[in-house]
Amino acid sequence: MTKKPFSKDILHLENIDEVIDGICEKLREDVYKRFRRYGGVIGISGGIDSSVTLAIATKAFGSDKLLGIMLPETDSSPESEELARELANKFGVKSIVENISGALEGFGCYRRRDEAVASVIPEYNPVTDKMKVVIPEEFVNKNLPPVHYVSVTFKDGTEKKVRLPMKEYLQIVAASNFKQRCRANMLYYHAEALNYAVLGTPNKHEVQQGFFVKYGDGAADVMPIGNLFKTQVYQIARHLGVPEAIINRTPTTDTYSAEQTQEEFFYQMPFDKMDLLWYGWENDYSPEEVAPVMEMTPDEVSKIFKNFARKQKTTDYLRTPPLHDYNIMEGSLV
Amino acid sequence: MKDQIRNFIAETTFNDPSIIKDDTLIFDEGIFDSMGLLGLINFLESEFNVVAEDSDLQEENFGSVERIVAFVLRKQAA
């Protein structure tokens, strides 16, 4: 099959109803027939991905076969819960709130994270100051894997940013990941109590670039939008009537106490640009074909392609389920 | 120094040192990732007393064994 010439609208879904119907059909096949579950639970955050997952699932199963669960904690933006509630109401899906702050306190999530932050920024006071982990934008053009920095905004509004040594970086990430894993536990509690499946919400970039927590938000039975680019997720959101306030909201991590966009934390470029570049890379378009469309130089495109390849390779561990093909009995049995 | 650095990279990536040539591009080849880079920064500080500043984090300084050696020597001479 000949490839379409690379263009800015190459990812636009012309046959959007067919695409949605295809996802719905597969969802019913997987959840009802393969897993024999009666419906689905979805963690709803007021973000675009969980909202589109809920909108598609409503079309697939009907609103009475779904439960939307809001899972706020101490650092969550109050706006997340409000928008999630608005979404559930709009689609007629029953929703409940499960606050996981107590569980996180019990695990020592906040204490362990703050201890690591304070070891690099001793003046950090978690009661009054806000923190986040960032990757400086310049790393996207460096041809080096990204290095993370912790940024603290003090109560007087001043900011301090320090590069994280390995030990502290790992401790902050490990502690913060309690959040996604607690949420997964709660989702599976409700799913099992109802004999439902957990409908995961990661999009294609999150899955392929490893922007999820293994056994956290990566824990799910199906991921209906796991093969959709972000601009396609937005296109479906508009088509299915996801509230405008959700569509217009900048995607955030909603993980650290300071506000932080996903672009700032992980992707380092806007979604529309990343969608096209990823598509180009994944489908073997050359940097020379992609560069003029993106108004970039072939060298810039080439560096980003290398970054994509590196990200996909280094996050393979996250996508790999437990390995159990240890055939120790092979050859030893008569 | 060159062998120390090569052995560090090989040990932390579970590779045979022989596959890491002086000019092997350790990030491009997928030998090293973010964790590798952070570990290397720690290693250079503890072994050679060389502190990598934010502005030093460039492919020209960290992309291969020979570039790392040149970077360490430059920093030590400064």
Q: Taking CB atoms and an 8 Å limit, are B27 and A313 in contact across chains?
A: no
Determine if residue A128 is labeled as part of a ligand binding site: no
Tell me: do A178 and A242 sit in the same domain: yes
Burial class of residue A72, CB neighbours in 10 A (0-12, 13-18, 19+): buried
In angstroms, what separates the C-alpha of B23 from chain A's closest C-alpha?
16
Question: Comparing A20-34, A177-191, B15-29, which segment has the lowest mean pLDDT?
Answer: B15-29
A219 lies in some domain: yes
**Number of structural domains in chain A:** 2
* Domain limit, last residue, from A150, A171, A192: A171
For chain B, what is the domain count? 1
pLDDT in tens, B35-56: 888 999 999 999 999 999 888 9
Query: Which of A120, A134, A137, A143 best probes binding to B when mutated, by most B CB atoms within 10 angstroms?
Result: A143
Q: Is residue A333 part of a domain?
A: no
> Is the confidence at residue A2, as pLDDT, over 80?
no
Is there a single domain that holds both residue A181 and residue A60?
A: yes
A318, part of any domain? no
Same domain? For A61 and A148 the reply is no
Residue-wise pLDDT for A91-121, tens only, equals 999 999 999 999 999 999 999 999 999 999 9
- CA distances for A78 relative to A72, A74, A75, A83, A249, angstroms: 8, 10, 9, 9, 13
Which residue range is the domain that position B48 belongs to? 2-77
Both A90 and A120 in one domain: the answer is: no
Instruction: Report the complex ipTM.
Output: 0.85
The verdict on a CB contact (< 8 Å) between A144 and B59 is yes
Q: With contacts defined as CB-CB under 8 Å, which chain B residues touch A306? A: 28
Last residue in a domain, options A114, A140, A171: A171
Verify that A149 and A256 share a domain, yes or no. Answer: no
Indicate whether A82 and A181 sit together in one domain.
Answer: yes
The answer to whether residue A221 sits within a structural domain is yes
To which H or E segment does residue A66 belong?
strand A66-70
Q: Which residues of B touch A165 (CB under 8 A)?
A: 38, 41-42
User: What does the pLDDT look like over A276-325, one tens digit per residue?
Assistant: 999 999 999 999 999 999 999 999 999 889 888 888 888 899 999 999 88
Torsion of CA A60, A64, A66, A70, to 10 degrees: 130
Across the interface, whether the CB atoms of B42 and A166 are under 8 A apart is answered yes
Residues A180 and A167 in one domain: no
pLDDT of residue A9: 95
Q: Is residue A329 part of a domain?
A: no
For residue A255, what pLDDT is reported? 75
A16: nearest Cα among A202, A206, A238 = A238
Confidence (pLDDT) at A141: 65
Average pLDDT, chain B: 90
Flag whether A308 is in a domain.
no
On the 0-12 / 13-18 / 19+ scale of CB atoms within 10 A, A328 is: exposed
Same domain, A161 and A117: yes
| Residues A36, A57 within the same domain | yes
Residue A25 sits in the same domain as residue A152: no
Mutation choice for B interface testing from A147, A151, A169, A172 by most B CBs within 10 A: A147
Q: Does the distance separating the beta carbons of A144 and B38 come in below 8 Å?
A: no
- Helix (H) or strand (E) run with residue A197 in it: strand A197-198
Range of the domain at A114: 106-171
Render pLDDT for A21-43 as a digit per residue (tens, 0 to 9): 999 999 999 999 999 999 999 99
CB contact under 8 A, A163 and B33: no
Which CATH number goes with the domain that contains B21?
1.10.1200.10
Distance from CA of B21 to the nearest CA of A (A): 18
Residue A251: is its pLDDT beyond 80? no
Using 50, 70 and 90 to split pLDDT, how confident is the model at A333?
Answer: low
